[in-house]
Each structure stands twice: as structure tokens, then as C-alpha cells.
Amino acid sequence: MPSSTTDPVTNDLWKQNDQLIMRLLLSSLIEEALSVVIRLTTSKDVWTTLETAFNHESKVRELQIKDELNLMKHGSCSVSKYSQAFKSHCDQLLAMGQPIEDTDKVYWYLHGLGHEFSTFSTAQLS
């Protein structure tokens, strides 16, 4: 933020630009990332918090997301909701610079669909 000696017009312009940048950042986030920054008030705070939370060097977070992908189950939710959640996890890893191989994605996705989709899954894996 500009120093307190800056004239009010410059200060207002800076705040307007900051809010514009912040809205752009927030509109591009997935739900999980948005929940991390929703109460922040400046674009710098949003950017810094996202950088810390989703830093590609965060091996612990990477492993946690991969475990969630591997253990994800269709269960009682719709295939659409399961697919959205699965894609969200894959997108998070991609954003961290740790994309999942397509063959692993297919295997984990089909495995998570469960027994009722076993014929479909077997055909897709063949």
C-alpha cells in the first residue's frame, strides 16, 4: 500500500486497482483455494496466502492430495459430484506443478467408481 504521505487521489486509485486485481484472483480460484483466502482484503494478502498454501515445494500437501485421490470413492454421491471432486484434486496438483499422469488419473478415477461400475471400469482399462 502507498505511504501515508501519498495524495488521496493516488491512494484511492491504488485501492481501486488492488480490488480489481483481487476480484480477478478470486474469480479464478477453485472452491478449496477460495476458502483459504475468502476473508482477506488485499490482492497481496491473497497472493501471499495462496503461495504459502499451495506452494509446489509443499511435499506434505502434494502427498495428502495424492492420498485423497487414491482413496476417493464414488459412494452415495452422484457421478457428476465425484467427477468434479476428482478433477478439483487433479487441478490442485497441476497448480502446484505436480501433475498426475493420465494413466494414473484413469486408474484412480475408475477404481473410485466402485463395484457397481466394475464392467465399465474393466472395459476402460483394457
110 in the same domain as 66? yes
66 in the same domain as 45? no
44 in the same domain as 84? no
90 in the same domain as 46? no
Q: Are 2 and 16 in contact (CB under 8 A)?
A: no
Domain that holds residue 95: 59-125
Distance CA 91, CA 84 (A): 10
Q: pLDDT, tens digit, for every residue of 38-93?
A: 899 999 999 988 887 776 557 788 899 999 998 898 888 888 999 999 999 999 88
Cell of 49: 496466502
Q: Quick one: pLDDT band at residue 101, thresholds 50, 70, 90?
A: very high
Instruction: Establish if 89 belongs to a structural domain.
Output: yes
63 in the same domain as 27? no
15 in the same domain as 47? yes
pTM for the complete prediction?
0.53
